[in-house]
């Protein structure tokens, strides 16, 4: 201490202290950057009884914004039962965005959310990286038994890794064929049942700006969606770039450039633009995800019965098929309130609450027994049943490096459909790039 009451530090001690501090910071940063994320702390199994009396916690559930209203009644019941709170956060709208948003946090061993709605294109990467919590103990068998037998294989491939389940499906996303029943009735014709009819009927309706059909194909990912749809109808293996895949690519090309029943502008369209075109009376029939059912009916100024009906998809060489996939609920391994999160995910996916979610938003409508028992005769569920009875659903093409493989298909399709490379070159490059993934 000096005469002013302050401590004097010698130069040597100051430099020493600074050196140690800098070295420690460097070491910590180096180790932090290079090391694997810290192991998640051991958490107790989810409580089966209400957690009243424990310290109330606030959990974060991330799911796309449009589903929040449907979630609220179910979450209120859980909050009432446990005394905890749930904050809804708007989750990403695609698998790519899921990876972009959450991978850095998970890689650092933290999670900004407790429960999340996760996509097919991101889920498998998350489980493989060890960032998700297995749900086998949290989800009761009766919930899994509520899914139809046809779901089992998809759950094993897309929702599981090394025998453990990591995601509970909450969406049955299949490409439905929407069509203008009012226009078809007026002309006294049926919607197309084969690829040949797609072309013939498409030509009949096409008179720009009205087109027979339309499909949003903008990068990233949307060209993959359509190519996977057409390849399911040719019976090909998309990630092998086989003959049947080439047939699907060729058909898409012909719709745009040869028969011109699909406008070239679809190559730069997203789903919002595609739906706008349909609701501006510019499209006779199109493939679209289930959410369009609500979008069309929600457009009160435009919608009338018959303007957005659903029919079976047209049959290609391998039949009338449409691939399906979808989103599901997961719990990150690093969830801040993991025990409560596991209890919450079991609650919102149980057989009692799944129908409540489905009634609130068509995104949650699935062919689960509990949902079909409640709403099997109304709305979209009717068409879901018809598709299932006609054996339309085809498995989503799987690749262990799903995001990269899909991106390759997307790239090759975009290059071919914009006439930047030939079909044979697209198939050759696609095969080579898929082979390079392994």
Partner 1 sequence: MVPSSVSVPTSRVVRFRITQRTRRILLVIVGLLLPAAALRLFTAVYPFLNTIWLSFHDWNPAFPPQRFVGLKNFQALTRDIAVTSSIDFTILFVVLSTVLQIVLGLAIALILNRAFPGRGFVRAVNLIPWAIPMVVAAIGFRWMYDVQYGIINDLLHRLIGVRIPWLVDFWGARAAVIATNTWKSAPFVGLVLLAALQGVPQDLYEAGRVDGTNRISAFFYITLPLIMPQIVTIGLFMVVWQLAAFDLVFVMTGGGPGFATQVLAYRIYQVAFTALNFGYASAISMILFVTVGIASVIGLLLFRKVEVSL
Kindly list the residues in this chain that would bind partner 1 in the complex (CB under 8 A): 11, 14-15, 18, 22, 25-26, 29-30, 33-34, 95-96, 99-100, 103, 107, 124-126, 128-129, 131, 209, 218-220, 263-265, 267-268, 273, 277, 400-401, 403-404, 407, 411, 414-415, 417-421, 429, 433, 436
Question: At closest approach, how far in Å is the CB of 29 from partner 1?
Answer: 5
The SS3 call for residue 361 is: coil
Q: Which residue number, 22 or 54, has a Cβ lying nearer to partner 1?
A: 22
Of residues 197 and 404, the one with the C-beta less far from partner 1: 404
Long-range contacts, 290-295 (Cβ 8 Å, 24+): 290/171, 290/172, 290/173, 290/174, 290/176, 290/362, 290/363, 290/365, 290/380, 291/66, 291/362, 291/363, 292/176, 292/178, 293/176, 293/362, 293/379, 293/380, 294/361, 294/362
DSSP of 217-267, one letter per residue? -PTTTHHHHHHHHHHHHHT--GGGT-HHHHHHHHHHHIIIIIS--S-GGGG
Element (H, E) at 161: strand 160-161
Q: Nearest-5° angle of CA 102, CA 117, CA 359?
A: 160
Q: Nearer to partner 1 by C-beta: 391 or 424?
A: 424
For the bound state, the minimum distance from the C-beta of residue 8 to partner 1, rounded and expressed in Å, comes to 11
CB of 127 vs partner 1, minimal distance in Å? 8
Question: In angstroms, rounded to a whole number, what is the distance separating the alpha carbons of residues 48 and 391?
Answer: 39
Q: What is the largest CA-CA distance in the chain?
A: 104
Task: State which residue, 57 or 282, has the beta carbon closest to partner 1.
Answer: 282
**32 or 56: whose CB is closer to partner 1?**
32
What distance in Å separates the CA atoms of residue 222 and residue 81, rounded to the nearest whole number?
A: 42
Asked whether the beta carbons of 96 and 126 are under 8 A apart, the reply is: no
Q: Which residues, including other chains, have CB under 8 Å from residue 383's CB and lie 6 or more apart?
A: 176, 310
Nearer to partner 1, 63 or 402 (CB): 402
| Least CB distance to partner 1 at residue 220 (A) | 5
Spatial distance between the Cα atoms of 264 and 261, rounded to a whole number of angstroms: 9
Go through the chain and tell me how many residues it has: 438
Minimum separation from the CB atom of position 145 to partner 1 (A): 30
CB 225 to partner 1: min, Å = 14
Q: State in angstroms the smallest separation of the CB of 59 from partner 1.
A: 25
**Rounded CA separation 179/339 (Å):** 46
Provide, rounded to whole angstroms, the least separation between the CB of residue 413 and partner 1. Answer: 9
Nearer to partner 1, 4 or 11 (CB): 11
Provide the minimum distance between the beta carbon of 32 and partner 1 in the complex, in angstroms, as a whole number.
10
C-beta of 131 vs 327, nearer to partner 1? 131
Residue linked to tokens 């979610």? 357
If the CB atoms of residues 14 and 85 are measured against partner 1, the closer one turns out to be 14
Q: What one-character DSSP code corresponds to residue 427?
A: H
């Amino acid at each position: 201490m000096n005469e002013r009451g302050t401590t004097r530090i010698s130069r040597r001690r100051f430099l020493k202290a600074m050196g140690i501090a800098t070295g420690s910071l460097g070491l910590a940063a180096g180790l932090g950057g290079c090391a694997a994320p810290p192991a998640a702390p051991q958490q107790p199994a989810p409580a089966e009884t209400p957690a009243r009396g424990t310290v109330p916690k606030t959990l974060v559930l991330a799911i796309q914004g449009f589903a929040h209203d449907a979630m609220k009644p179910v979450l209120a019941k859980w909050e009432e039962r446990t005394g905890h709170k749930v904050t809804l956060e708007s989750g990403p709208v695609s698998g790519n965005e899921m990876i972009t948003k959450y991978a850095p946090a998970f890689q650092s061993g933290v999670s900004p959310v407790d429960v999340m709605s996760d996509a097919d294109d991101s889920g498998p990467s998350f489980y493989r990286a060890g960032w998700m919590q297995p749900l086998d103990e949290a989800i009761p068998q009766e919930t899994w038994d509520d899914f139809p037998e046809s779901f089992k294989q998809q759950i094993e491939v897309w929702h599981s890794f090394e025998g453990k389940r990591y995601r509970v499906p909450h969406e049955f996303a299949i490409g439905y064929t929407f069509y203008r029943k009012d226009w078809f009735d007026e002309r006294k014709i049926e919607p197309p049942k084969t690829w040949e009819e797609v072309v013939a009927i498409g030509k009949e309706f096409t008179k720009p700006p009205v087109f027979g059909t339309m499909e949003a194909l903008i990068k990233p990912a949307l060209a993959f969606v359509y190519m996977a749809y057409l390849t399911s109808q040719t019976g090909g293996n998309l990630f092998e770039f086989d003959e049947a895949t080439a047939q699907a690519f060729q058909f898409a090309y012909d719709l745009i450039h040869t028969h011109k029943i699909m406008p070239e502008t679809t190559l730069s369209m997203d789903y919002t633009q595609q739906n706008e075109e349909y609701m501006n009376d510019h499209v006779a029939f199109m493939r679209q995800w289930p959410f369009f059912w609500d979008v069309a009916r929600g457009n009160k100024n435009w919608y009338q019965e018959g303007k957005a009906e659903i029919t079976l998809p047209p049959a290609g060489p391998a039949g009338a098929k449409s691939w399906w996939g979808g989103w599901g609920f997961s719990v990150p391994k690093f969830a801040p309130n993991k025990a409560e999160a596991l209890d919450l995910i079991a609650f919102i996916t149980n057989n009692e609450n799944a129908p409540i979610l489905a009634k609130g938003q068509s995104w949650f409508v699935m062919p689960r027994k509990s949902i079909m028992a409640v709403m099997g005769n109304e709305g979209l569920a009717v068409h879901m049943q018809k598709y299932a009875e006609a054996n339309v659903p085809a498995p989503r093409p799987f690749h262990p490096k799903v995001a990269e493989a899909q991106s390759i298909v997307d790239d090759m399709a975009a290059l071919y459909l914009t006439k930047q490379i030939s079909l044979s070159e697209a198939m050759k490059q696609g095969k080579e790039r898929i082979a390079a993934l392994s």
